[in-house]
Amino acid sequence: MEKGMVIEATNESGTLTIEAKENLFRTYTWDNNHIKIPLHPRQSRWYGSFGAQNSGGLKDIHTVIEEGQQHFSSTEEALEWIQWQNHLYHYVYTSDGLIVGWNTQKDTHSSQRTLGVQVWQIYINGNKPKQLAGANNSAINVKLSNLQTETLPSAGIFKSSKPKIINGRLYAGKAIDYMSDPAIRPTTPEEVENTITNGKLKKYSTYNFYYMLDGDFMWVNVDQKGRVILIGK
């Protein structure tokens, strides 16, 4: 986001207004709530993005905020990535790939609440999409300013990996990117296969979620044809 930019997004949780202030501060307004939170630029890639984040918040509101770019080698992989956490964030997005998801949860044992917000710009092979399937342009209203864009750490133009067959199994480009992501720690195809073979399984409508709880936690999303979509630790 640019300083002075305002995004108003409406999803299943209601309407959230985000305003970019000076020095990476953001204000978040929903229902009768209004908070001002500083974002912190990431120094290394975290699940695909440099961007900025805040995991902390105020006394009564814990925040889990992510803002940045997500890069993909195909529209198919972008839509699969959106589906991954859609049940949590109820994403809405525009045809050119601006995506916002948010929710609030209340701790049943205290008065503290959690505000989760994600703001992403999607790129397909380095370009914004033009007609992203499932877009709802009316759910997001953006007001721009003429102020200078804030600078975040960058490794230059990020080039998404292409799908690749590894040890006989097809991997999505995003999964290959995640396997070398500093946030996830280097992941080998052998670890992926071990999780698929020996891990627990949760079935979703379009993919299977395998996860290991023994030792280092790890998970793998696999589509119905056995292609690895995403991995994480």
Question: Domain segments of the chain: what residues?
Answer: 6-143, 164-232
pLDDT category at 195 given cuts 50, 70, 90 is very high
Is the predicted pLDDT of residue 5 greater than 70, yes or no?
yes
Instruction: Return the DSSP state at 161.
Output: P
Buried b / exposed e along 167-202 (16+ C-beta atoms within 10 A)? eeeebbbbbbbbbebeebeebeeebbbebbeebeee
Sign of CA dihedral 115, 209, 51, 73: negative
Q: Tell me what the pLDDT averaged over the chain comes to.
A: 91
pLDDT category at 170 given cuts 50, 70, 90 is very high
* pLDDT reported for residue 107: 73
* Residue 158, helix vs strand vs coil: coil
pLDDT category at 219 given cuts 50, 70, 90 is very high
Under 8 Å between Cβ of 171 and 165:
yes
Length of the chain: 233
* pLDDT reported for residue 21: 93
Q: What is the pTM of this model?
A: 0.90
